[in-house]
Structures are given as C-alpha cells and as structure tokens.
Homo-oligomer: A and B are copies of this chain.
Amino acid sequence: MEVEKIIKEIIKKNDKKILLLIMDGLGGLPEPTTHLTELETAKKPYLDEIARVGMCGLSIPVLPGITPGSGPAHLSLFGYDPVEHKIGRGVLEVLGVGMEMDKNDIAIRGNFATIDENNIVTDRRAGRIPTEQNQKIVQILQEKIKVINGVEIIIKTVKEHRLAILLKGKNLSPDISENDPQKEGLPLRKITPLKKNAEFTAGILNEFLKQAEKILAQQNTKARTILLRGFSGIPDIESFEKKYLLNPVCIASYPMYKGLAKLVGMNVIAGLETIDDEIEILNKVYNDYDFFYLHYKKTDSAGEDGDFNRKVQTIEEFDTKIRGMKNLKFDVICLTGDHSTPSVLKGHSWHPVPIVIVSQNIIPDDVNSFTERACAKGMLGTIPATSIMYILLANALKLEKFGA
C-alpha cells in the first residue's frame, strides 16, 4: 500500500507511550425487549469517562458488511491490510492452541473423521467426539508419532473433533491438496503435491495418515482418520518494530491473540490467566515498552454464547478492573474492539465497533457514553480499523510532515 511507503518516510521514534485496549467482540445489537445493546445496558462509569474526555467514533474492522474472523480483525487493528496479508487457517488453529510457529513450519487444521473399510468417509466429524476423548487419542498419537523423515510432528487437541498439527523441519511446503473429500459418502483422497517442491511434504503427511489410521483402529473411538486442511506457513509480515519503530508488548491471556501479536513481532508476556493478571503486568512492565496491546477476551465469549446478560457483566467487569491502571501515564490511549459479537447473533458480525482515543492532541467531542449509538456521533467519525494505528502514531507525535 502507498500509505505504508509514506509512513516509512515520516515515522520517527520518541518516548511517547501508546496503550491499545481491545475488548474482543465489543460491539453488540439491541436486546429485543429493552431495545438496548450490551454496552447501553452495562453500568460502566469508567469507560464512559474515557469517552467523555476522548474523541469517539466507530471503526470498521475490514470492509462495510464484512464479518471478520479474529485474524483479519486483529491485523486491521495493528495496521496491516487483512485483504493483502492473509493468515492461513492452519496458522490460526495452531496459534489458538498456544503452539509457537517458526518461519519454516507448516500449520494444519485437522478433523477426526470416521471412514469405513472401503475408505469411504461416513462422518466428517467422527460424531463430534467429546473433547476429553480427543485429548486421549491425541496423547496416544503423539506418543507413537514424533518424527517422520526428519520432520517433527506436533499434535494438539482443539476441541470436540478438531485438532491442530504443526510440522517442523526443512523443505516443507503448504502447496498440497487436502485429503478431505468435502462430502460424506465419498472416498478419502490422497494428499498430492500442487507444486513440484511439495512432494516431500505430501509424502510425509500420507505416511502420517497411514500410521495414525493404524493407531486409531486399535482405539475404541469413532475417530478413524484425520481430515487435513488449511495448510499454511507463517505469513511474511513486517514487524511492528520495523514498521512503526515501536517496542511493543502484548498483554493477553488467550493463545490466539498472543499468537497474532507474535506474528507482528510483539513481545508477548507469558503465563497470564485473568484480567487481574493483565492489569498487574501492565503496571509492572510500564517502563519497558512504548506500545501496549492489552486484550480482554470475555466480551466476545459471552457474545458467542448468545448470553446477553453475561456480556453486560463482562463489560462491567472490564470497567472495574481497568481502573487498576489509573496511575499510569500514557500519551495516547485507544479503547475499542476488534469486531462486534452481538449476543443476539451468537457470533462475530460486521457492525462497526465503538472506539475512543484519548490524547493531548485531540479535540474532545461531546460524547459522554461509550456505546455504539453515542460513538456514532463522535468527532472521529466512522473510520477503517486499518487507519487507527496511524491516528495513534500521529497523536503520539511519531509522524513527521509528509512533503514540504
């Protein structure tokens, strides 16, 4: 993108500190009886105060009408065009279970599936076996299969029938076909190379499946094979440090978000479990970084579960907990979400997300409440999420003049 070239020319380092607070799946929709959204229902005096002193608006995660997954939504927030920079499904699955990926690795999504004696796929999800059964089988598979042809194979349970597989080795390629026939009643396919240099990888995975099927046949389970999909390597993304001359830190408890932050080169704090841990560590590492990405997951989880009241409670929890950072001085604070997850939709949605920016260099608008409807009237207007980083950098006076 042209703008990235401009940023390269005008970016400069200074000692100003930026805090990006992300409430996952923040935006919502009105509850049918009260006609109020989760944000409008929650009592959140501290977030409202941030809105009062800040400049408010709405952020479009990717494009109008487009509902993003966590990957694209976060890339946007971090200032990388998610249409240009694609993250493979395998990579997201692998990051989501907390595996660490390196440059040469290949990530894969897997489904346990049922096949009959003629190799016909009879259940693409192996009857959605319980997660505990998945964990047991994965442990057995991992004990018996560790390396094939010098390539290390790491297997982890996701949940129910889903698993994540990471190949670590040399000369690996994601350019191979799936073994998933996509429909039940059809025979399992062989994995074939789509490019010449992928023969090695296809061979390893066919051997892996042969060994896995032999082991699974000896277990008491509907899982008889693994459908492999989403083969992908780590995307080639310029690091935050290089792109913005920032020294960034990720303060998150969920593996997926730590993984996404690691993709863009953030320093990731390990071992955090709760928002209390996150606030505590924020206080602790305040002097060590100049960009802080703090992620709160619970709003999204409640929205995904369709639990309106719980989502309201999570907003209220965040409002209370976040006060623990009251004495820290950030030059620029941005509070927003990566996307909306309205409880009534039980999933991510395309709706623009409330955003507020606080800095010395904004004009505070007259928005007094951090809600979808109030922020829509804010002075920041409705902006693409990819422009947020530029506005934060500008407010931190880290961007010089473009042209004379």
Report A173-201 CB contacts with B as 1/0, cut-off 8 Å: 00000000000000000000000000000
In the complex, what distance in Å separates the CA atom of A304 from the CA atom of B93?
Answer: 52
Alpha-carbon separation in the docked complex, A89 to B35 (Å)? 49
* Nearest Cβ on chain B to A260's Cβ, whole angstroms: 11
Residues of B within 8 A of A361 (CB): 29, 342, 345, 349
- Evaluate contact between B89 and A404: CB separation under 8 angstroms: yes
Binds B, one of A15-23, A318-326, A380-388: A380-388
Among B87, B363, B372, B387, contact of A65 (Cβ-Cβ < 8 Å): B387
CA A68 to CA B363, docked complex, whole Å: 19
Q: Are B363 and A351 in contact (CB under 8 A)?
A: yes
Residues of chain B lying within 8 A (CB to CB) of residue A72: 402-403
Q: A70-B404, A381-B382, A402-B72 are in contact. Are A65 and B394 (CB under 8 A)?
A: yes
Bound Cα distance from A86 to B404, whole angstroms: 10
Q: Which residue of B lies closest to A350 (CB)?
A: B394
Q: Give Cα A117–Cα B70 distance, bound, in whole angstroms.
A: 64
In the bound complex, CA of A362 to CA of B345 (Å): 11
Interchain CB contact under 8 A, A68 and B390: no
Q: Among residues 17 to 71 in chain A, which have CB atoms less than 8 Å away from a CB atom of chain B?
A: 29-30, 35, 37, 58, 62-71
Q: Does A92 sit at the interface, judged by CB under 8 A? A: yes
Would you call A401 an interface residue if the criterion is a C-beta within 8 Å of the partner chain's C-beta atoms?
Answer: yes
* Interface residue SS majority, chain A: loop
Interface presence of A82 (CB below 8 A): yes
**A373 partner, pick from B345, B363, B381, B392, beta carbons under 8 A:** B363
Residue A99 lies at the interface, judged by CB distance under 8 Å to chain B? no
Cross-interface CB contact of A381 among B29, B65, B366, B381, cutoff 8 Å:
B381
Which of chain B's residues have a CB closer than 8 A to the CB of A402? 62, 66-69, 72, 82
Within the complex, which residue of B64, B86, B404 is in contact with A403, where a contact is CB–CB below 8 Å?
Answer: B86
Interface membership of chain A positions 149-171, coded 1 if the CB is closer than 8 angstroms to chain B and 0 otherwise? 00000000000000000000000
| Interface residue? A391 (CB, 8 A) | yes
- Interface membership of A236, Cβ < 8 A: no
Tell whether A125 is near chain B: CB-to-CB under 8 Å: no
A348 within 8 A of B: yes
With most chain B CB atoms within 10 A of its CB, the pick from A35, A67, A86, A362 is A67
Chain B nearest CB from A334 CB (Å) reads 12
Give bound CA distance, A31 to B68, whole Å.
40
Q: How far is A172 from B137 in the complex, measured between Cα atoms in Å?
A: 68
Query: A69 — which chain B residues lie within 8 A by C-beta?
Result: 401-404
Contacts from A to B (Cβ < 8 Å): 2-3, 6, 10, 29-30, 35, 37, 58, 62-72, 82-84, 86-87, 89, 92-93, 342, 345, 347-351, 361-366, 372-373, 376-377, 379, 381-383, 387, 389-394, 399-404
Interface pairs (16), CB distance under 8 Å: A3-B63, A6-B66, A10-B67, A37-B363, A64-B390, A64-B394, A65-B391, A65-B393, A66-B399, A71-B404, A87-B403, A93-B404, A350-B391, A366-B373, A372-B379, A376-B381
